[in-house]
Amino acid sequence: MTVFTNRAFDAHEQVVFAQDPISGLHAIMAIHNTSRGPSLGGCRMWPYPDEAAAITDVLRLSRGMTYKSALANLPFGGGKSVIIGDPKRDKSTALFEAMGRAVDSLGGSYTVAEDVGISVEDVETMATQTRHATGTRASGVGDPSPGTAFGVFHGIRAAVRHRLGRDDLSDIPVAVQGLGHVGYNLCRLLSNAGARLYVSDLDAERSREAARAFDARTVAVEDIIAAQVEVFSPCALGGVINDAALQRLQAKIIAGAANNQLAEDRHGQVLKDRGILYAPDYVINAGGIINISHAGPAYNEAKAFQHIARIHDTLLAIFQRADKSGTPTSEAANRLAEERFNPRGTKAAEAA
């Protein structure tokens, strides 16, 4: 098990291991870069097979948050935390109180929010022990998925404009993979905009529900990647753009909420070579964190959502940059983000 030599370490400022014998907490908090401001990122609870898997995940996720906040122009650095445990079995008030104390011990260099396996209520329990917790109902924000879906919708608009030269989504066929918190909300927005929907979820009842609500066509889980559509929108799992999937993909655009959609970095180049426009996942799915940046007593949903809609313009700028430099959009996004944070880390380092 390695930290410093882990491929995802990439000059993290701090990695903190926290444990609490009474509640059984085993957590890792990673702060990648705070040159833009204190780090912000969700806490994930997952039954990792071993500590090495948890370390790799938290390092990868926290680094990703630096890039995400930089591209959304938010005054945050990148951080993330993981709790090793099964969210179906191992949750308790004591566990999340202990996690809140662990976050508090970092003195504000990391602010925690929700992520996979962690609910708004869990973060609220952490918030009883620290003021460095956000995305709670008291902060005005709560569930991040409507904001994420709204951002993905505007990202799809940008991609359609760039790749298909169309300013509206009327009658554009879109395949949505995964009809969970984000996917279902996204279907509503797409349907209202006149898109023709093809939907798929592991939960067949969920697919039928979406089909009824949005006049969509249901597609078998294994076939959604090959749907005859203009836009493929992954809103389930990461790694869906892999060699096997690329052989079957028909869409001209990939634009969805799932994290880490490209199985490997080189798939960005493969997509470019095939003329498929890829909306980099961490740009298009930043709606939740943009919303959180407005959290507080003066939270104004309309203002926050106007800010989220600007994902459209950020993506257009990335698409144009990629065209100009002849690079995949995934690389163009990374380079733009890297221009916006200091790889040497904290504001103190920046001043030195």
Q: Site residues (CB under 6 A) for ligand NAD?
A: 116, 144-145, 148, 177-183, 200-203, 206, 221, 235-238, 257-259, 285, 288
Between 181 and 340, name the residue whose CB sits nearer to ligand NAD. Answer: 181
- Looking at the chain, list the stretches that DSSP marks H as alpha helix, in order from N- to C-terminal side: 51-71, 93-104, 120-126, 145-164, 181-192, 204-214, 243-248, 267-273, 281-284, 287-292, 301-309, 311-325, 329-338, 347-351
Q: Report the distance separating Cα 284 and Cα 257, nearest Å.
A: 7
Closest CB 275 distance from ligand NAD, rounded Å: 25
For ligand NAD, the closer of residues 52 and 237 by Cβ is 237
Radius of gyration of the chain (CA): 20
Angstrom distance (rounded) from CA 8 to CA 64: 10
Q: Which two tokens stand for residue 244?
A: 């096997």
Residue tagged 């930043």 (tokens): 286
Q: Which residue is nearest to ligand NAD (CB)?
A: 180
DSSP string, 277-293: EE--HHHHTTHHHHHHT
φ, ψ at 177 (rounded to 5°): -100, 110
Which backbone phi and psi does 103 adopt, to 5 degrees?
A: -60, -40
Q: Which is nearer to ligand NAD, 200 or 329 (CB)?
A: 200
Using CA atoms, how far apart are residues 97 and 93, in angstroms rounded to an integer? Answer: 6
**80 among known catalytic residues:** yes
Q: How many CB atoms are closer than 10 A to CB 246? A: 15
Angle at 235 between CA 75 and CA 148, to 5 degrees: 30
Residue 113 pairs in a beta bridge with 42
Separation between Cα atoms, residue 166 and residue 265, nearest integer Å: 29
In order of 149, 180, 199, 211, 212, the CA distances from 205 in angstroms are: 21, 12, 12, 10, 11
**Spatial separation of the C-alpha atoms in residues 306 and 270, rounded to whole Å:** 34
CA distance 257 to 266: 20
Structure tokens at 289: 């964190």
**Which one of 80, 252, 303, 324 is the catalytic residue?**
80
For residue 5, the tally of other CB atoms under 10 A from its CB is 6
Q: Minimum CB separation from ligand NAD for residue 348, in Å?
A: 30
The number of residues making up the chain comes to: 352
Where do runs of H (alpha helix) occur along 88-203?
93-104, 120-126, 145-164, 181-192
Q: How far is the CB of 45 from ligand NAD (least distance, A)?
A: 13
**Quick one: 129 or 139, whose CB is closer to ligand NAD?**
139
Q: Which residues are designated catalytic?
A: 80
